[in-house]
Structure 1
């Protein structure tokens, strides 16, 4: 079994990688930081699985395409794809510079589109597979001071729904994971209690559970929010 995970070296991506490696999945992961990738590769190999750790900035189309090519060469069959990578720049949509939207669009939507399209075709041919798209509560309702982010995450959820409809006849499942405030690197420096957040491991456990469901079941979307935030 093999899993592709974007943004794999920390936060939600890292927690999912650990959970799947413990289940025996070989891991193909990417991130921008070479030091973090080296540490990630060492840790994943400690679970006695094969690992491919690729340096890639998924805000750049050429690097997305390079990542896809390397991933498919390493794993001509893919069981799980987790589109996790994302960026968030706070601000008012009306007042921000255009490139604030464009940077989020390129990473949050375009990269997911290119990767899901390529791996989705592969899964369609092999007639099995599971795609998880890590969206956000902002996918369903605009978040204050996060205008462009909310737009891109809403687009990601729409992409998820199109993929689910197109791939269902080929026994490929697609699920949108919709977490609320999750304790990741984006919250570094907060004075809020960590216990008041969703934990990355909660998202990983949810995916592990979904993967264990019967063949005839698809979880269309799963929302996970803090109980007392």
Structure 2
């Protein structure tokens, strides 16, 4: 059975949706956690729950709105200052704005660029440098099927996910000589809070837990195996 005892993972967007599912899964596997999300209160509650439920793990957190460049810089500095580098980085946080490139607002454009691309870029750079020094580690970028199948009604979202795809490929080649693995997880329609109020049946979606299981499966591979990408779609196609 896979155990991640004595390994540390950082997870962005850790208190909701896919991030929460990933957090719970890694905690159950014995992983120590560095969590970030916007709400300090939600992070503290989650820390208490996890450390109570899974004896032996430690949970640290930093509240951060990654849409704010100054707060993101603070998060990066916090990670750089860690005595021990994370073994696993889960770049999960993201936002979706259903607007075309021609009709979006400036805020829609800039916020999606900041959250969906600049955030994983800066975190991967900071954590990746330490993984390179240690010659071990695994970076996961949560992308989207939009990185393969453009969605014109969500133009900048699509563009940022294409950028994440490119970032993943470059990181993989840069870090391969240092035994650091890099994986892109590519979900289709996933039943998270962004679909609240929908009348679409639940079996038309994949679940956040499916993403968590995919990451655990990658972490359970042999040392010589690197899963480069996983595409997960609803069995009936995207909603």
Segments of 5+ residues of structure 2 without an aligned counterpart are 1-6
SS in 2 for 1:214: coil
Q: Distance in 2 between matches of 1:25 and 1:189?
A: 34
Q: Deviations over 1:123-157 (max 9, x none)?
A: 00000000000000011121141111000111011
Q: TM-score, normalised by structure 2?
A: 0.92
Matching residue of 2:107: 99
Question: Would the aligned equivalents of 2:79 and 2:127 in 1 still touch at CA under 8 Å?
Answer: no
SS of 1:65's partner is helix
The aligned counterpart of 2:172 is: 164
User: 2:83 & 2:198 partners in 1: Cα distance?
Assistant: 39
CA distance in 2, matches of 1:207, 1:147: 27
Q: 1:14 aligns with which of 12, 15, 20?
A: 20
Q: Deviation above 2 Å: which 4+ runs of structure 1?
A: 68-75
Distance 1:208 1:101, change over 3 A: same
RMSD: 1.2
Contact 1:8 1:14 in 2 (8 A): yes
The aligned residue for residue 127 of structure 1 is 135
Asked if the contact 1:2–1:75 (Cα under 8 Å) also holds between the matched residues in 2, the reply is no
Q: Report the 3-state secondary structure (helix = DSSP H, G, I; strand = E; otherwise coil) of the residue aligned with 1:111.
A: helix
Matched-pair contact (CA < 8 Å) for 2:92–2:141: yes
Displacement after TM superposition at 1:74 (Å): 4.1
With structure 1 as the length reference, what TM-score do the two structures score? 0.96
Aligned length: 229
Quote the offset at 1:44 in angstroms: 1.9
Output aligned runs, 1:129-208, within 5 Å: 129-208=137-216
Gap runs ≥5 in structure 1: none
